[in-house]
Amino acid sequence: MIIGDRLRAIREDKKLSQADVELRTGLLRCYVSRVENGHTVPALETLEKFARALETPLYALFYESEPPAVNPALVKRNGSRNMAWGAVGKDARFLRILTACLAKMRLSDREALFLFTQKLVAGKHSKGGKIAGQD
């Protein structure tokens, strides 16, 4: 899904012009046009402005169906607090750093890393617990 197409569809469903969106958001009409035509990708803050202007929840810009997709259950920790992994402490710090690093990578590099990780895990499980190449 292209966000510009979704914004245009919602705007047209509500019978609003780009000038109406300009007045409601404070964004220039030419910017609204560039977003709708896929020439510009808006920041999250800008998407929030669009959602308010279109009188629709932010998630509706990303999902066409009602209600939004349900998040899968997270792996739970063993312990008295039974918190999700990555919620606090060292795990949370590691997760933030990992997320930031992955966000800086090109898509092709992320896909290569993911494929490498899958092969590494598959090799570890098929070799009796040892990673291929280790003795």
Rounded CA-CA distance 45/47 in Å is 5
Mean pLDDT of 78-96: 71
CA 135 to chain CA centroid, Å, is 40
> Which tens digits make up the pLDDT trace of 12-45?
999 999 999 999 999 999 999 999 998 988 998 9
Q: What integer pLDDT is reported at residue 80 of this predicted model?
A: 47
Mean pLDDT of 103-109: 85
Mean pLDDT of 62-68: 66
CATH of domain 3-61: 1.10.260.40
Q: What integer pLDDT is reported at residue 127 of this predicted model?
A: 56
pTM for the full model?
0.49
Eight-class DSSP state of 79: S
Instruction: Measure the N-to-C terminal CA separation of the chain; round to a whole number of Å.
Output: 47
Six token digits for residue 57: 């929840």
